[in-house]
Copies of this chain bind each other. A is one copy, B any other.
Amino acid sequence: MAVLSDLSAAIGLVGWDREVAMPPRGAEARGRQLGTLATLVHRELTREDVEDALVALEEHDGLDGDARAMLAESRRVRDRALRVPEALVRAEAEASSRCIAVWVEARPANDFPAFAEALRPLIEVKREIAGALDIGDEPYDALLDEYEPGARARQLEPLFAELRERLVPLIQPARERSGALLPERRWPSAQQMDLADRISRAVGFDLAAGVISISAHPFTQGNGPGDVRFTTKPDESDPMVSILSTLHELGHALYEQNFPIGYDRTVLYDAPSMGAHESQSRFWENHVGRLAAFWRFIDPDLRARFPEQMADLRAEDMQRAATRVTPSLIRIEADEVTYNLHIALRFGLELAMLRGELEVGDLSEAWNDGMERLLGLRPATDAEGVMQDIHWASGSVGYFPTYTLGNLYAAQLTEALERDLGPLEDLVEAGEFAPVLTWMRTHVHDRGRRVPTGELMREATGHELGVDAFVDHLRRAYVERA
């Protein structure tokens, strides 16, 4: 476990460098280096003496609960690795490399047929991998299970159906009460990064064990308790993007910084799933960062760094810009009300592809029809439609639903936290983030990967996974507001 943890940290750092520091001509070799490291992980996992060790431990009587959980998770990870033949691993790496390369060119050129031709063999390989893994009730489940262990398509379908049904009617009333964009002015990057630093310290991120940097696509990367990093991306025309992305990544980073120290260098030093991880980023981004109280709290910090830009703006104006609702074609620009409809569309399409009910070549039309049905917008180009995300091109099929699971869990966690601590609004207004973080530590972070997400969330919130808390939150924040 320790060797795998060290290798995974090396992969993390080499990947971090790719986004943050690598010169353009380094890309090709970097891909090969990461491929070699992944091969070594596979080799370490599938060594025969690992089997002997696992069997010996499985037959051992004296293991405590933590050790049993480590053993079970190690076995699960090894089984996954053993089930997929190396030829299939290589085939996926090649198909996704090619598909990414095609996507990079096809997106700006709006060339869906080229993209479809590269995506088709990749989906085929994913289906073969799903067959080899043989997890769940249908091929899609095996792919989903990689990101969200235990989740199944048949459990997600009614969830997304209910979401669609309850979200669509909220859009119009939310738009009617929506605020204005910020007026045009320039917000220097250096000041935005300084603010990111200030916000991070305020909510409890330990910068002696952390780094904040800049990359084109913000992300978080944890390398054990002493080294957790995240990036943001200052947009000089709009500070909102980097403030909210800082809070989002901070949610991930605080989680990574607070796994139980006793699990360091084991398979349990992790979140139980991507959905659980996303619950933390969405909590800080949406349930803290879009509160009026948050904008009052950081108002002095904003003014200190942007005295001229803020001269005619009130905290309220900032909060209204942060909660603006307007249906958009692009997922990563979506507001909190419409975001999950973007995910519902993607989930439905990837599931249909894996079930053989949708041809890759028909994806563009199905996408455009779905967008029109859900958001009343029809993409004029595939660049702002089916080709907008890198996920499918990179082989991440079954990943999208975890974003929505994160949103649902975040709302349920917020309800439970407020039952224990009182209104979040009051805590945030006073800058009292410590009890909030402590609550999350106790109920989420401290479990590491020891228990499955469903169980962890049930114990933390007292409820099964559902959409009520989330829809209630949206109604209060977007429909019932003044």
Contact = CB atoms under 8 A, between A and B. Distances in A.
Interface of A: 2-3, 6-7, 9-10, 13-14, 16-17, 20-30, 32-33, 35-37, 39-40, 206-211, 213, 223-227, 229, 264-265
Contacts of A22: 211, 227
Contacts of A28: 226
A179 to B, nearest CB: 38
Given A29-B224, A36-B3, A227-B29, A211 B21 contact: yes
Contact of A21 (B33, B37, B213): B213
Copies in the complex: 2
A229 B17 CA distance: 12
Contacts of A35: 6
A9 B33 contact: yes
Contact of A13 (B2, B13, B23, B39): B13
A208 B22 CA distance: 9
A-B pairs, top 3 by smallest CB distance, nearest first, are A26-B227, A6-B36, A25-B226
20 contacts: A2-B32, A3-B39, A3-B40, A6-B36, A6-B37, A7-B36, A7-B40, A10-B33, A14-B14, A21-B211, A21-B229, A23-B208, A23-B226, A25-B227, A26-B209, A26-B223, A29-B223, A29-B225, A29-B227, A33-B223
A4 B229 CA distance: 28
A6 B25 contact: no
B10 A10 contact: yes
A21 B264 CA distance: 21
Nearest to A28: B226
Nearest to A21: B211
Given A7-B36, A17-B16, A36-B7, A27 B226 contact: yes
Contacts of A14: 10, 13-14
Nearest to A227: B26
A266 B22 CA distance: 21
